[in-house]
Structure 1
Amino acid sequence: MILLRSLLIVPSLQPKLLEKAARSAADGLMIELEDGVHPSRKAEARTAVAKFLRTAEFGQKEVMVRINSVYGSEGQEDLHELVAAGVLNIMLAEVRGPRDLAIAADLLERAEHASGREINSVGLWSMVETAAAVQNVDAISKMPRLRGLAFGGGDLSCELRVRRIGIGGDRVIWDYPFEHLYAKERVVVAARAAGLKVIDTGWANMHDEDGTRHCARASAQLGFDGSFVISPRQLPPVHGEFTPSERDIEWARKVVAADEEAHAVGETVRVVEGQMTDGPFVRSAYQILERAKEAEARAAALTELQQRALEPAK
């Protein structure tokens, strides 16, 4: 279980933001080559990202690049240049079915061969942001090279023809996108069945800390590993919700201790804090303790990375 509580969306044509993102507390980075880049600057952005991948230090971050459509020349050029630059993960946007991933995988294999890299060294992530992708998510999740799914609420809202898009405040109903609930749960179930990571849309208003926190809390309860963030300022509330609290850890330790006592006398059930705890509660407790341990290790690694960044160049 490798933590991916946050996936920071990073613009490709702003060097200072790229450098800041590499040193940030984000667990992962998604560098943008698709919608976030004007058509006239695609080649410039691609070259900038390739250079960044070759020179930056990311520590333990999961780094991926969202590319242009593999059905067009820009997306194919993205794959060719990024694979040569050492990219480890590619995010595919506007996926509709497994065929999209099959084509990307074939192009990746050709790019790996051309650059002398080991075949299958580059993984794929799939956005689930179309109605077709939601319907086909089980088949999508079983495709080779796939490492994770990312739910995209904005594009899906357009396809669903909701009354008004709202993933960051100013919502018409409630303060959480319940119109996405069915799709979100389908994506989580498919990801878990296939052993994949799964990331939620997140909150689009970087200045709304309470909204960011509330959205992350709901995502964590639904089973997502983490969510997209658009600014480092969203990392504390997001990480706070996807990291076990002291109360969670205390409960988990009690459950594990009670389970060990039960097994010592040939039993399988114990009561902890007035609640019967058996198999699934015990497994959940171990998951909490594992996540807490990984969060502690990630914090230590981040401190080391940031300290190295402050050291004078030799």
Structure 2
Amino acid sequence: MAEAEAKTDKRHDLLAVRSILFLPASNPRAIAKAREAGSDLIVLDLEDAVKSDDKNTARAAAVEAVAEPWPMPVAIRINGVGTEWHSLDLDAAARSKADLVVVPRAASAHLIGDIGKTVSKPVLAMIETAAGVIAAAEIAPETAGLIAGTNDLRADLRLPLDATREPISASLQMIVLAARAAGVAVFDGVFNSLDDAEGFAKEATAGRRLGFDGKSLIHPNQIAPCHRAFAPSTSEVERAKALVAAFQGGAERFGNEMIERMHVEAALRVLDRANA
């Protein structure tokens, strides 16, 4: 019972997360800076961001880094099932004080469930293959949240290198639907162009409109604009306050529209996010 309650609490906490900053666990300078960066969640990466020769060093560094308290939750992204580093990463993550474990290239609910039991921590599953998208509805209930791995997803779908988000829009919507059906958080993928502030803001805003709770980041400079993109506007907050205040308990008129309890629940979520 206690384990189930802890999992529910962690799911609730993640629904307030707007930013997930990924950084290589092999980079001590980046880890030190991340403590003060202001991201809602930090992911110490043992996978894509770490060269093969540095995997063992990065693993030890990640465990050491999470041994001390952080001002925000910290996760460790392990290497995937079938890699030579997976078992060692799994054991290290289980022994560590990391708050969560991030699993790449998730495609099997059974495997994700087994990983969660092994590490005894909430799991964030990265959906970054066609198989993962198809299985997302089964995977989501085994997790505390889903992360869209947009770079790998583009590659798995064999899209052109300069492809926009349009070819993966259906996949992104399926990931959001799977998370919402399971009642867990869901996060958009990374934006690769570090110097394109306008492009980042546009993509982050589009992600919020699609239903994502927040976004994966690859540089601290993306944190503040990410928080702005996923924060309700002043007009949204004012409308939400007015709607909640006006609601009397049934279907009724609010301005020029009809509202019901579902609209109040949505308005309360806006206010919760505004106060995050």
TM-score (normalised: structure 1): 0.79
- Asked if 1:282 is matched to 2:264, the reply is yes
- 8 A contact 1:202–1:216 mirrored in 2: no
Unaligned runs of 5+ in 2: 1-11
Q: How far off its partner does 1:22 sit?
A: 1.5
Quote the residue 2:212 is aligned against: 224
Q: How far off its partner does 1:152 sit?
A: 0.7
Distance 1:268 1:160, change over 3 A: same
Q: How far off its partner does 1:70 sit?
A: 3.3
- 8 A contact 2:141–2:184 mirrored in 1: no
Q: How far off its partner does 1:185 sit?
A: 0.9
CA distance in 2, matches of 1:106, 1:4: 24
CA distance in 1, matches of 2:265, 2:81: 41
Highest Rg: 1 or 2? 1
Amino acid at match of 1:58: W
CA distance in 1, matches of 2:268, 2:116: 35
Unaligned runs of 5+ in 1: 109-119, 172-176, 296-314
TM-score (normalised: structure 2): 0.89
CA distance in 2, matches of 1:107, 1:275: 50
Q: In the alignment, which of 180, 184, 193 is matched to residue 192 of structure 1?
A: 180
- Asked if 1:149 is matched to 2:149, the reply is no
- Asked if 1:271 is matched to 2:228, the reply is no
Quote the residue 1:258 is aligned against: 246
Q: Which SS does the other structure have where 1:186 is aligned?
A: helix
What do residues 146-205 of structure 1 show as CA deviations (whole Å, max 9, x unaligned)?
111000111111111112245xxxx5xxxxx01111111111111111111111003211
Quote the residue 2:110 is aligned against: 99
Aligned length: 263
- Asked if 1:58 is matched to 2:74, the reply is no
Amino acid at match of 1:279: R
- 8 A contact 1:258–1:270 mirrored in 2: no
Amino acid at match of 1:41: D
Quote the residue 1:291 is aligned against: 273
In the TM superposition, what are the counterparts of 1:46-195 in structure 2 within 5 Å? 46-55=59-68, 57-59=69-71, 61-108=72-119, 120=120, 122-143=121-142, 146-166=143-163, 171=164, 177-195=165-183
CA distance in 2, matches of 1:42, 1:163: 30
Q: In the alignment, which of 204, 220, 224 is matched to residue 192 of structure 2?
A: 204
Quote the residue 1:306 is aligned against: none
Distance 1:160 1:277, change over 3 A: same
Q: Which SS does the other structure have where 1:136 is aligned?
A: helix
CA distance in 2, matches of 1:97, 1:134: 10
Q: In the alignment, which of 9, 21, 24 is matched to residue 8 of structure 1?
A: 21
